[in-house]
């Protein structure tokens, strides 16, 4: 699967599509998933153009995973999550639908998750949760 420069996450990184941003640094961006599997479902993406985990240099991955840790800690403290599901899919065969490396952080027990992409969430609720998590970051 080759990198698609017009994928939705690349467009978000370029500012062509809005997002509910919760954190950003020189290497990564964290924002809310608008098709959440649970309240507070966030995504972390590297700013490096990689489609899968196999394509990102280790130093870039280290920065991205540091952001994953920060967001997860904020979800736990601000949303009272007892656990956070970390999900990352590599390739279409694994269910990856966006051709940009990304990490799902879902503050819920695995058994509580809704099917991803089934329905768009309530934008006002997502915006409020984004503000709450962003304050902790």
Distances from the Cα of 4 to the Cα of 21, 58, 81, 85, 123, angstroms: 22, 21, 34, 27, 27
Task: Give the number of other CB atoms < 10 A from CB of residue 126.
Answer: 22
- Active-site position among 41, 100, 102, 104: 102
For the question of residue 102 being annotated catalytic, the response is: yes
Closest of 13, 18, 16 to residue 29, by C-alpha: 13
Can you tell me the distance from the alpha carbon of 62 to that of 1, in angstroms, rounded to the nearest whole number? 23
Active-site amino acid positions: 102
């Amino acid at each position: 699967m080759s990198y698609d420069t017009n994928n939705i996450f690349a467009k978000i990184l370029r500012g062509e599509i809005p997002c509910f941003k919760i954190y950003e640094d020189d290497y990564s961006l964290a924002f809310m998933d608008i098709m959440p599997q649970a309240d507070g479902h966030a995504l972390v993406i590297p700013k490096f153009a990689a489609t899968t985990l196999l394509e990102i240099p280790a130093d870039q991955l280290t920065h991205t995973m540091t952001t994953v840790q920060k967001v997860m800690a904020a979800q736990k403290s601000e949303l009272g999550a007892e656990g956070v599901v970390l999900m990352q899919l590599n390739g279409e065969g694994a269910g990856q639908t966006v051709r940009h490396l990304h990490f799902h952080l879902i503050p819920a027990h695995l058994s509580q998750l809704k099917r991803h992409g089934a329905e768009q969430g309530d934008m006002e609720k997502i915006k409020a949760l984004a503000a709450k998590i962003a304050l902790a970051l």
